[in-house]
Structure 1
Amino acid sequence: MAVDLGILKTRNEIRWGRAKPTRDFSAVARRLVAPTAKARYQAVSARTGVPWAFIAVAHERESSQNWAGSLAQGDPYDKVSTHVPAGRGPFASWEEAAVDALVNCAPRAARNKDWSIGGTLTMLEQYNGLGYAGKDKPSPYIWSGTDQYVAGKYVRDGVYDPNAVDKQLGCAGLLLAMMALDPSISFDGNHMHMPVAPAPTAPSSKPSVTSPAPGSLGAFIASILSAIFKRNK
């Protein structure tokens, strides 16, 4: 059965407004917003247009923030992936693998234009798969660790166990905890990524008597002396 993404977005918005944590998200949230990690997520955000907080929670869900694991599915980024999406890589760095995951792999989050909270959560749910939405169940990928989720999990591809409980923390609770720590995170629907500014180019050498700065008095005198010497040759 096809999933209506508009309906899913509305349901995710409602759940977001009601969600209360049932587990402690704070330790993982602190790790995700730590300056070194945030800088790496922002570098990928600058290249893809995907908000860095989205990248952070997907990284946590896919590989528990393992920097050796690809953002796409958690496989080692320096080898060809074997899990879905399979056949990706190898890549030279975690960042290169992350850009590939967001730009070239379904659901191609880099193409998303709706970064409201409903749009963000729905894109994250698509990132994991719409199997739960197809069953009219809250996705543990999003809601695990909150009162919006109790049980039910795909224990492997295509196999759903209604009694299995997801042990990982879900993206919604992580985002709420991250927002409490970092007020710069918001979901107003108008996310604009900031390009990374190139480093200023340092001059090759300082002006000197033998190499005066262009346009300076020294340069003017040097040009006169050069003309005199050429005339006397």
Structure 2
Amino acid sequence: MTNLNALTTANAQRWAGAKLARNFTSVARHLTAPNAKARYQAVSAKTGVPWAVIAVIHERECSQDWTGSLAQGDPWNRVSVHVPAGRGPFRSWEEAAIDALVNCAPYAARNKDWSIGRTLAGLEQYNGLGYAARGRPSPYIWSGTDQYRSGKYVRDGVYDPNVVDGQPGCAGLLMAMMALDPTITFTGTTITPPISVKPISAERPAAPSIVNPAMGSIGAFIANIFNAIFRKKS
């Protein structure tokens, strides 16, 4: 049986040293787009699972297809046939997502520790702990980073050490999303992603005023004259 505490520590250490080996920006932009974020936040409000975590699960399970269930990618308006099977049908993507997080293993909504190590361990649980049992980084988490090279379960119970997972992993997605949206936090603290992309600032320059005239304006011309006079007197 996999030791969850050990997996949490291992994933925290991998995160601290991870670098992206692929470009995640395009996918991250879709996941952090205002309309998508609002839908993830609605599910987060009902489950307590951070919206960014919901977003990366959605990407991994069905490439952010809104007709696919968060649980396993099956259409949410039918009874699911893949594990977890027998779920649904549901009335909406949101209803299916809440069911996946609340009622299906690993019961992500029960988690109260959203530190980065525990978050990544929880995401690995969501996919399965077969990689951890082998002592290998899970591609579900680390694909597309320098922490992963090869190895993938090509079907249930069948592991191929030579196959490379082509999907973006959850860790790389979170790094890229955090670079685009600095409001993404874990346990109330903004985590600086280990990549060299500066977050987009939401701040706007102050509007021109008497004390802060616009460059090239009459106000700026007069302010320069007063500054020159006072510099001479001093």
TM-superposition CA deviations, 1:50-92 (whole Å, max 9, x none): 0000000000000000000000000000000000000000000
- What is the CA distance between 1:187 and its match in structure 2? 1.4
The residue that corresponds to 2:106 in the other structure is 107
- Is residue 40 of structure 1 aligned with residue 43 of structure 2? no
Q: Which runs of 4+ in 1 moved over 6 A?
A: none
Q: Residue in 2 aligned with 1:98?
A: 97
SS at match of 2:83: coil
Match of 1:89 in 2: 88
Could you say what secondary structure the match of 1:76 adopts? coil
Q: Which residue of 1 aligns with 2:175?
A: 176
Gaps of 5+ in 1: 192-233
Which residue identity does 1:72 align to in structure 2?
Answer: A
1:140-219 alignment runs, 5 A limit: 140-188=139-187
Q: Structure 2 matches for 1:212-231, cutoff 5 A?
A: none
**In structure 2, what residue type is equivalent to 1:115?**
W
Separation in 1, partners of 2:114, 2:135: 23
Deviations 1:78-116 (A, max 9, x none): 000000000000000000000000000000000001100
Percent of matched pairs sharing the same residue: 74
Report the structure number with the largest CA radius of gyration. 1
Counterpart amino acid of residue 88 in structure 1: R
Task: Provide the residue aligned with 2:231 in structure 1.
Answer: none
- The answer to whether the Cα contact below 8 Å between 2:152 and 2:160 also exists between their aligned partners in 1 is yes
Q: Is the 8 A contact 1:132 1:139 kept in 2?
A: yes
Partners of 1:23 and 1:173 in 2: CA distance: 9
SS at match of 1:147: coil
- 1:188 Cα deviation from its structure 2 partner: 2.9
Give the TM-score taking structure 1 as reference length: 0.80
Give the alignment's TM-score, normalised by structure 2.
0.80
- In structure 2, the partner of 1:70 is 69
Equivalent residue letter for 2:3: D
